[in-house]
Structure 1
Amino acid sequence: MQKKEYETKEFDKTEDLFLIELKPSAETIAEVVIRSVSRSIKLNDGNMVMNVSGNKDFKTSANLLEVLRKTPGVSIDQEGGIFVGGRITPAVFIDGKPITMSSQELQAYLRALPPEMVESIEVNANPSSKYDAEFKGIIDIKLKRNGNLGWKGNYNGNAYANKFSYRENALNLSYNTEKMAYSLQTSYNNGISTYQYNALQKLANTNVMRTNTYQEDEGNVYSIQTGADFRMNDKNRLGISVRGNFRTSDRIRSGSLYTTNKDESQLIFNTESENPTEYSQKNYGITADYSFQNKGFKLNFLGNYLSVKNMQKDDFINRDKPTSQLLSYWKSDLLNKIDIQTAQIDVSQKMGNADLEAGMKYSYSDTNNNIRYDTLSVNDRFVFDPERSNMFSYKEKIWAGYVSYRQKFGKLQVNAGLRFENTQSISDAVTKDSVVSRNYLEWLPSFSTTYTFNKSNELSLSYSRKITRPVFSQLNPFRFYFSPLNYWIGNPYLQPSFTSQMKLTYRYKNWVTSFTVGKEKDVLVRYPLYNPKTNVLEYLGTNLPYRKFAYLETSFPVKVAKWWNITGQVAGYYNDEFRPYLDEIFALKVYNYEVRVNQVFTLQKGYTLNLFANYESKTGNSLYIIKPRYTVDLSLQKSWFDSKLNTKISYNNMFDSYDQSLEFRHKQIMDNRLTHWWDSSRLILSVGYSFGSSKYQVKEIQKTEEENRAR
C-alpha cells in the first residue's frame, strides 16, 4: 500500500490523546497515524482524573449520571446506583468535600447537573487514611468556576418516557460580589416508575412455587438548598448552607403465588396479594465551614447537622385467587427518625517538598425505629400484632484522627498515613429486651507512591486498610416485608468487616490500566432460607469468614477520523468467597468481565451522535449465578444561541435487555430462579438553558460518612 502524505493539524484540547487520522481524499483507511494532543485523562496520586466539560465523549450525555456511566472505572446499575472497583459504593464529593444527600437525592442531583457545569471527575478506588474509613471509594466532581462578579442561572429539565413518564426540573441561581457569594438551588421531580419480579422456587420433594410481582411507584420530590460564602480576606473564608428535601411516594404492588406439588400434577394453592404503600420523607440539614490559609499553613473546620424523618404505611392483603376469599390482612405503620451531628478539623503545613497533614473528627448518630403491625382478626377488627411489631434504636459515636505525610523526591512522590477510629455503639431491640453494646478501636494505615517517567508515562502503587460498619437496616432484628411470604430480617450481632487491598495503576498517554487485589474479612452478606412447611422465604444477615478479590481494568481512546471517536473499556473480575451455608461450605472462584464501547460521531451543522454499548458476562457468588446482560444507548445533541440552549434526545437500553436474572447454584438444596426488571428502556428529552453574567459556582453542601450509612 502506498504511503500518503499527512498534514499537521491543531486539535481541540479536549480531544483524546490517541488520534487515528484519516487523511486525505480516499474515504477508506489507508494508514493509521497516532498524534499527541493535550491529555483529557491524567493521574492524581494514582487516581484517574477525566475532563468533562468540552469532552466530546460526554457531549450527548443528558446529565452527570450518564457521564458516570461512560467513565472508566465507574458503573451504574439499573436503579441508578453508583459503583467503583466492581461493586463498591463510593462516597461522592463536590470540589473535594462530600455532599449531604441520600442515595435518591444524589441521583436526582446528578441528573440535574449538565456536563457543561463540570470541570472534571476524579475516581479514587483506594482512598488514603485521610478519609473516613467507610470510604472504600470516592468520586470527586470538580465544578467549573469563574470569579466573575454578578449573577448566573441555569435551568435543566429531563423528561423520561416509558409505559409512564417521569420529569425532573432543576434551577440553579448564584450571585457573586467581591466579598460574598450567594446560591439558591431548587428542584421538583415527579412521575411514575415500574418494576417487575418473577421467581421459581422449588426444594427437593416439596412444592413448586411461581411468583410474579408488578409494582408502580408514583413519586414527588421537592428540594431547596441555599448558602452563602463570605470571603473575609485572602486568608479567611466562612460558609454556611441550609437545605430541605421532601419526598412522597404512593406505591401499588400486586402479585401472585402459584403453587403445585413436586411433580406439578396438582394445584396446592393459587393466591394473589396487594401491597399499597404511602411513604414520605423529610430531610433538614445545616452545614458550617471555616478555612484559614497563610503561606504554607492551612486550617479547615467543618460542622454538620442532619435530621431525617421517614414515615410509611403499608397494607398486606392476601386472597385465594380462584374464589377471591380473604386469607390474611395486616397493616403496618412505620416511624423512623435519624439525627446526625459531626465536627472535624484538618490542618496542614508545607515544608519544602513535603506536606504534613493531621485531623480529628467526632460524629454522633441516633436512629430510632418504631413499626406497628395490626392484623385483621376473625371478628373483622384489626388487633395489635406483637410478633411483627418492632421498636429498635441504634446510637453510634465515633472518634477519629489521622496523620499523613507526603514528599516528592524528583520524579518520585511518596504518601504515608495512619488513621485511628474508636467506635462506641448501642443497639437496643426494645420489644425483645435485647441490648448489644460495642466499643472498639482500629488502626488503619495507608501508603502510596507515584513515579512520573515523563508526561506520557506514570506508575502508581497504593495500599489501604478499610472498615465497613453494618448499616441500621442490617442490624434491626425484625421483619421487613416484600410480600406476605417473603421478608428480610436484620441481625444486631453483625460485626464490621475489614478490607486490605493494593492497587497498581499505569498511564501511557490516555491509556490507563489498573490492577487491584485484596482480602475482606467478616464480609457482610444476606442469604436465603426457605421453610417448606410455611412456604416462607427469609433473607438473613451474617458475616462470612472472608473473601479474596481482584480486578483488572483498562481504558483506551481511539480516533478513527476527525468526526469519529471511540473509547473502549475492558474490566475483568475475580472473587473467591468462603461461605458456610446450611451446614455446608461453599468456596467457589468466580470470574467475569465487562466490555464497554462508547462511539461519538461529530456530524454537520453542530449535531453530535453517541452510541454506547455495555456487555456484562455471567457472574455471581458462591450461592447464585447471575446471567449475562447487555445494554445499548443512542443519543443526539445540538446547541443553540451561542451554546446557551442545549437540547438532547436519548433512547437508553434500546432493546430492553438490562434485566437481572439469578439462579441458585446448588440444586440439591433449592432450585431458585428469579428475575428483576426495571423500566430502564426509556426515551429521554433534555433541555438546558444558561443565563446571567457570572459563571461563579458556590461550594456544595457536604456529606458525612454517617449519612451514607443511615439509609
Structure 2
Amino acid sequence: MKKANLLIFLLLPLFCLAQSTFALKGKVTNSSNPLEWADVSILNAEGKIIDGITTKQDGTFEINIKKGFYKIEISLLGFTDFQREISVESDLDLGIISLKESATNLNEVVIKTQKNIVEQKIDRVVYNVENNISTAGGDALTAINTAPGVVVQSSAINILGKGASRVMIDGRMIELSGEELNDFLKSISASDIKSIEIIANPPAKYEANGSGGIINIIMKKGIRDSWKNTSILSYDQNTYGIYTLRNSFFHNKNKFRFAASVNGRLGNSRSTEDLDINYPNGLWQLRDDSKQKENNLSGRFSLDYDVSDKTTIGFQYLNERYNPDMKSNTVIKIFNNQNSVDSLLVNNGFNNKYSGSQTYNAHLVSKLDTIGRKFSIDLDYFTYDSKFDKNFTANSYSPDGTYQNTNQSARNNSKQNIDNYSIKADMEHPIAFMNLSYGAKASFIKSNSNVFYYNTITGNPVLDPNQSNVFEYTENNQAVYMNVDKKMNEKLSVQLGLRAENTQTNGYSGTLSQEVTNNYLKLFPSLYLDYKLNVNHGLNFTYGKRINRPGFGLLNPFRTYINSNSYSEGNPFLKPSFSNNFDFTYSYKKNLRTNIFFNVINDGYGVIFRSNPETNTQIISRENYFNESSFGIGESYAAEVTNWFETQSSVYLLGSKTTFISNINAVPSNNAQLYFTTENTFSLGETTKLQVEYFYSSPFKKGLYEIGYMAGLNLAVRQSFLKNNLQLSFLVNDIFNTSYLKDYKSVVNGVTQVYSQNESNRFLRLSATYNFGNKKIKVQERDFGNKEEKKRTK
C-alpha cells in the first residue's frame, strides 16, 4: 500500500492552474531586408527551450506564451546570434530586431563565433569538445578524458573526488562498466560528439545508480536543411601501429533528419604490467608483456521524422564488434630471504577474445500545447555478448634457465551475455508558479555467464568441473520521479527532485548451488540552488543521494585464474553502497569557477588484493569493506584570452578519510592529492592551430591503496586546407611516457604488493579529416514548431 501511495504521489501533479497566454511578436531583419527562416527560441530561467518558431517570408514571428520571465534567442547562419531577457506581463511586440552579419565570407557561411569551452548550468557542467584538436581521429573515450574534472585511468572513468561514473549517450544509459564500457566507447568517433555533460549530482530524471555521477555524451545531429559528410583517416604509432577509418553522414531536410556513421580500426597495441609481492619467505617479481589486437568495427544509424509541427518520432541503432585477441608472456622471478633468485616461473598464453553489442531505441516527443507541456517516451533494448578463450602454460626453470617441470597447463573458456530492456516516459508540465516534470521507467536486465576450465597438462583437454561455473543474474528496476524548478526572482532559481527506485535482484550459481536474492525500495532526493549576485558573479549549490550497485561480473562467486599463482573471484553477497554528495560552485564571468565538494560513502565496496603466504598465491576479491568521506576544492579557468589564444586549466586539492568496516587485516591511510591540468590552443594563422596539454597528479594515499605520481604532456597541430574542408592533424601523446599507473601499493595480511601498468599511452597520431556537403537544400516553405529537437542540431 505504501508503494502504491508513493507512485501516486510522484506521478500526479498536485494541481494545475489554468492561465491565459499572451502574444509575443517581432520582426527580424538585417540592415535593410527582412530575414526568413531565422530560428526564434524561448528559454526559461534554467536555459531550457520551451517553445520556438521560424520567421516567415516577411521576417515576422508570433508565439503565444504564458506570463513570466524568459530569454529569447534568435539565430541564422551568417549572422551573429541575438539574445535578450524579457518579462511577459501582457501582449508584447519586440518591434524590429536587426541581426548583424558575422565577420566572415557569407558566401561560404563559415562562422567564427563559438560557444564557451565550459558552461555552468544549474545541475551540470557542459564541455564543448568540438574544437579540441587532440581528439581529432580519436574516439569517445579520448574525448571524455579531455573533459574538465574527468580522469580515465585503469578502465575507470572518474569525476575527480567522486569515484567511477556511469556513461549515457544522448540521455540513454549504457549498461556496461570497466573494460567493456571502454571498449564500447572506443567504437564511437570523437568527431561525432557535440558536447559532454559532467553531472556530478544528476537530477531525479536520471537513474540513481553510480556514486561518481554521470557523463552524458551529446551526439551531433547536423544543421537543418543541409547534408554533410565527414571522413577521417588516422594512423597511431606506439610499439605497434593502428589504422582507423571513420565516416559520418548527416542529412536534414523538411521533416526528416538522418544520420549514419561507420568506424573501423585495425592494428595492435602493447601493454606491460609489473607486480612485486613481498611474501615472508621472499619476493615474487612479476613482469608481463602483452600484444593486443585493436580490431574493431562499429556503426550507428538514426532517423527522426516530424509527424507534425509538434510531434516527432525516431529510431536509433548502434552496433559494435571488437576482437582484442592478446598474446602474453609473464615471467615471475622467485627470490629467497637472501634476495637471490631461487627459480623462475614462466607463463605463456594466448587469449582469443570477442565482444559485441547492439543498441536499439525508438522514441516519440510531442509538444502538447504552446505553454511548454511536452510528453516523451523511449523504448530501449541493449544486448552485449563476449567470448573469452585463454590457453596458458606455466613452466618452472632454475635461475640459470634450465627447464625443471610444467607447473600448470590449462584452457579457460568463458562466455557472457547481457540483455537489457527498458521503457521510459517523461512529462514536462509547467504550471502557474513553477515548472513541473515527472515520469517513470522500468528496466529489466538479465546476465548469463559461464566458465569452463580444462586441464591440458597431459596434452589432451580434460574438463575440471570443480573449476567450471555457470552463473545467472537478473536485475529488475522500477522507478518514478518528480522534479520542480522555479525562478524565485531575477537572481535565485531553485530545483527540487525526488526519485524512488524499487529493485529486485537474483544471482544463481548452478555449479555451487548458491542463490542470493535482494528486494529493496529506496528514495533519492536532489536539490539545486542557483543565485546570480550580478552579471559577473554567480553561486551554485547541488545535493544528491546516489546508489552504487555492483556490476554483474563482481557478483559471480567463481574463481577465474589469471595465471598459475593468481586468481580472481566475485562475491554474490556484495551489497550496494550509498553516497550523499554536496557541491558548491562560485563562478566569475563564466570563465573562472571555484568548486568545493564533500561526499560521504557508506558500505563502500571494492577490490582487495590479498596474498596467501603459505601457498604464495595472489587472491583478487571484492567486499563491502569501507566507509569514506571525500572532500576537495578545485579552481578552473576557461576563456578565449585573445583572438589567438584559448585556455582551459584546472587545479584540484583532494582529500579523504577512510574507515574499514570489514576485518581485512589492513590499516587505512589517507593524505592529500594535488591534480593539475591545462589545455592551451594557439592560433598560428587563419588555418593553423597548435594545442599543448599537460596534467599532473601527485602521489597520494586513499584508504587501502597508495598510488604514485602520474603526468602527461601532449602536443597537437592542426592545419586546414580547402576553405577549412580538409584538416590534417598531428598528435604526440604522453611525450615523456609518464601518464601510466605506477606504484599502486597495498598491504593486506602483512604482505605488500606494488603494481604498475602501461597501456601504450605514448603514441604518435596522424589524421586527415575531409568535410563536404550542401547547406542550401531547397525545402518546402512551412512553419517549424518542433523547435527543441531542431535546436539540438547546432
Common fold, TM-score beyond 0.5?
Answer: yes
Worse overlay, 519-528 or 325-334: 325-334
After superposition, the C-alpha distances for 1:406-431 in whole angstroms (9 at most, x for unaligned) are 11111211111111111111100110
2:297 matched to 1:219? no
Please tell me whether residue 438 in structure 1 is matched to residue 518 in structure 2.
yes
Read off the aligned partner of 2:543 and give its amino acid letter. Y
Q: 2:260 is aligned with what amino acid?
A: L
Aligned position for 1:234: 309
Is 1:332 equivalent to 2:412 in the alignment?
yes
Distance apart, 1:284 and its partner CA: 2.6
Per-residue CA deviation, residues 599-646 of structure 1 (Å, 9 max, x unaligned), is 322213622111111110012323322111211111111111111111
Instruction: Identify which of 431, 442, 450 aligns with 1:351.
Output: 431
Aligned residues: percent identity?
23
- The higher relative CO (CA closer than 8 Å, separation ≥ 6) is in 1
- CA shift digits 1:351-388 (9 cap, x unpaired): 245111111111111111111111135x5432211221
**One-letter amino acid of the structure 2 residue matched with residue 113 of structure 1:** A
Displacement of 1:157 after TM fit? Answer: 2.5
Q: Residues 385 and 173 of structure 1: is their aligned pair in 2 closer, same or farther, counting only changes over 3 Å?
A: same
- Superposed, 1:410-429 pairs within 5 Å as 410=489, 411-429=491-509
**Which among 373, 376, 391 is matched to residue 300 of structure 1?**
376
CA–CA separation in structure 2 for the residues paired with 1:87 and 1:415: 22
Query: Which among 447, 450, 453 is matched to residue 367 of structure 1?
Result: 447
2:654 pairs with one of 565, 573, 576: 573
| Change over 3 Å in CA distance of 1:145–1:363 after alignment to 2 | closer
Q: Which amino acid aligns with 2:765?
A: I
Equivalent pair of 1:95/1:699 in contact (CA under 8 Å): no
- The one-letter amino acid of 2:185's match is Q
Whole-Å Cα distance in 2 between the matches of residues 301 and 456 of structure 1? 39
CA, structure 1 residues 142+272, in 2 after alignment: closer, same or farther (shift >3 Å)? Answer: closer
Task: Output the amino acid matched with 2:355.
Answer: Q
Shift of 1:445: 0.9
2:155 is equivalent to residue 74 of structure 1: no
Alignment of 1:311 with 2:423, yes or no, is no
Q: 1:254 to 1:59 in 2, by over 3 A?
A: closer
Q: Does 1:176 align with 2:252?
A: yes
Trace 1:184-199 onto structure 2 (pairs within 5 A). 184-199=260-275
- Partner in structure 1 of residue 240 of structure 2: 164
Distance 1:371-1:346 versus aligned 2 partners, 3 A rule? same
Distance of aligned partners of 1:142 and 1:436 in 2 relative to their CA distance in 1, 3 Å threshold = closer
Q: Distance in 1 between matches of 2:317 and 2:641?
A: 48
The reply to whether residue 389 of structure 1 matches residue 468 of structure 2 is yes
Is the 2:221–2:259 Cα contact (8 Å) retained in structure 1?
no
Greater shift, 296-305 or 95-104, is seen at 95-104
The residue number in structure 1 matching 2:4 is none
Alignment of 1:493-512 (within 5 A): 493-509=573-589, 510-512=591-593
Which residue pairs with 2:669 in the alignment? 588
Give the Cα–Cα distance (whole angstroms) in 2 for the partners of residues 173 and 182 of structure 1.
Answer: 8
Report the counterpart of residue 764 of structure 2 in structure 1. Answer: 683
2:354 to 267, 274, 280: 280
Task: Give the distance between the partners of 2:661 and 2:148, measured in 1 at CA.
Answer: 35
**Structure 2 residue 186 is the aligned partner of structure 1 residue 108:** yes
Mapping for residues 21-36 of structure 1, pairs under 5 Å: none
1:620 to 689, 701, 704: 701
Contact 2:610–2:749 (8 Å) recurs in 1: no
Instruction: Show the counterpart of 1:48.
Output: 125
CA contact (8 A) 2:299 2:318 kept: yes
- Partner Cα separation in structure 1 for residue 622 and residue 476 of structure 2: 23
Find out whether 1:525 has 2:603 as its counterpart.
no
Correspondence for 1:151: 227
Residue type of the partner of 1:651?
A: V
Matched residue, 1:289: 363
The aligned residue for residue 66 of structure 2 is none
Corresponding residue for residue 204 of structure 2:
129
- Contact 2:664/2:748 (<8 A) preserved: no
For residue 633 of structure 2, what is the amino acid of its counterpart?
Answer: L
TM-score (normalizing by structure 1)? 0.87
Whether the 8 Å contact between 2:133 and 2:717 is mirrored in structure 1 is no
CA 1:65/1:334 → structure 2, altered by over 3 Å: closer, same or farther?
closer
Change (3 A) 1:587 1:77: closer
Give the stretch that moved more between structures: 312-321 or 83-92.
83-92
**CA distance in 2 between partners of 1:312 and 1:142 (Å):** 32
> 2:732 corresponds to which residue?
651
1:391 partner amino acid = V
Deviation at 1:108, TM superposition (A): 2.1
**1:222-247 residue CA offsets vs partner (Å, 9 max, x unmatched):** 11222321110112111112332222
SS across alignment from 2:630: strand
Shift of 1:552: 1.4
Q: Could you tell me whether the CA contact under 8 Å between 1:624 and 1:662 is conserved in 2?
A: no
Give the aligned residue type for 1:550.
Answer: F
Q: Tell me what 1:409 maps to.
A: 488
Over 3 Å counting, the alpha-carbon distance change for 1:223 and 1:67 in structure 2 is closer
TM-score (norm. length: structure 2): 0.78
Q: 1:284 to 1:359 in 2, by over 3 A?
A: same
Structure 2 residue aligned with 1:85 = 160
Alignment of 1:537-552 (within 5 A): 537-552=618-633
Deviation larger for 150-159 or 182-191? 150-159
Residue 479 of structure 2 is aligned to residue 400 of structure 1: yes
Decide whether aligned partners of structure 1 residues 258 and 51 sit closer, same or farther in structure 2, where only a CA change above 3 A counts.
Answer: closer
Say if 2:117 and 2:639, in contact at 8 Å, map to a contact too. no
Q: Indicate the SS of the match to 1:45.
A: coil
Deviations 1:47-103 (A, max 9, x none): 2234444x5xx2454246555434322223376x53213353333444444468852
Larger radius of gyration: 2
Q: CA deviation at 1:396?
A: 0.9
8 Å CA contact 1:499, 1:521 repeated in 2? yes
Cα contact 1:85–1:551 (8 A) shared by 2: no
Taking the aligned partners of 1:310 and 1:543, their CA distance within structure 2 comes to 27
Determine the structure 1 residue equivalent to 2:343: 269
- Which 5+ residue runs of structure 2 have no aligned equivalent? 1-78, 82-113, 778-787
Provide the rounded CA distance (Å) in 1 between the counterparts of 2:454 and 2:216: 46
2:481 maps to a residue whose letter is: Y
Q: Give the partner amino acid of 1:192.
A: N
Q: How far off its partner does 1:488 sit?
A: 1.3
- Between the aligned partners of 1:392 and 1:367, the Cα distance in structure 2 is 8
Q: Map Cα deviations across residues 254-297 of structure 1 (whole Å, 9 max, x no partner).
A: 111111222224x4331101120111123233211111112221
CA distance in 1 between counterparts of 2:653 and 2:624 reads: 26
Deviation at 1:669, TM superposition (A): 1.0
| Shift in CA distance, 386/288, structure 1 to aligned 2, threshold 3 Å | same
Gaps of 5+ in 1: 1-11, 15-36, 701-711
Cα displacement (A) at 1:105: 4.6
2:320 to 237, 245, 270: 245
Q: Please give the secondary structure, in 2, of the residue aligned with 1:276.
A: strand
Question: What is the CA distance between 1:176 and its match in structure 2?
Answer: 2.4
Deviations along 1:564-615, whole A, 9 cap, x unmatched? 4443210111121112565646243331010112232221362211111111
Deviation at 1:153, TM superposition (A): 1.1
- Please say which of residues 564-573 and 626-635 is displaced more in the overlay: 564-573
For residue 733 of structure 2, what is the amino acid of its counterpart? N
What's the counterpart of residue 28 of structure 1?
none
Contact in 1 for aligned 2:129/2:195 (Cα 8 Å): yes
Q: Where do residues 457-468 of structure 1 align in structure 2 (5 Å cutoff)?
A: 457-468=537-548
Secondary structure class of the residue paired with 1:474: helix
* Aligned residues of 2:665 and 2:749 also touching (Cα < 8 A): no
Structure-2 separation of matches of 1:225 and 1:668: 49
Aligned mates of 1:523, 1:141 — CA distance in 2: 27
